[in-house]
Amino acid sequence: MEVKIGVQHAARELVLEVVDSADDVESAVEAALSGSATVLSLQDEKGRKVIVPSDRLAYVEIGEPSVRRVGFGAV
């Protein structure tokens, strides 16, 4: 599952591939925004954690991973 996180006052967004379901990610975001958690913490496929303060979240986009194409295509 691909997750894009926009952070206030940052030029780039964070892009992660997570193993959690869309519902799990949405629940974590809702907890961070509702005030029950002070940070949004997600773990990517390689086991690295990304922690963003909830008051700095601009947006979170949850979607399917993009298919990477390999090789050359004939036009």
CA separation (Å) from 59 to 3, 68, 70? 10, 24, 31
Residue 38's domain comprises 2-63
The count of structural domains within the chain is 1
Give the per-residue pLDDT at 16.
Answer: 93
- Within-domain flag for 70: no
**Cβ-Cβ contacts under 8 Å for 60 (sequence gap 6 or more):** 3, 4, 5, 6, 25, 29, 40
Q: Is the pTM of this model over 0.75?
A: yes
- Within-domain flag for 74: no
pLDDT digits (tens, 9 = 90+) for 26-70: 999 999 999 888 999 999 999 999 999 999 999 999 997 656 667
- Within-domain flag for 68: no
pLDDT digits (tens, 9 = 90+) for 41-52: 999 999 999 999
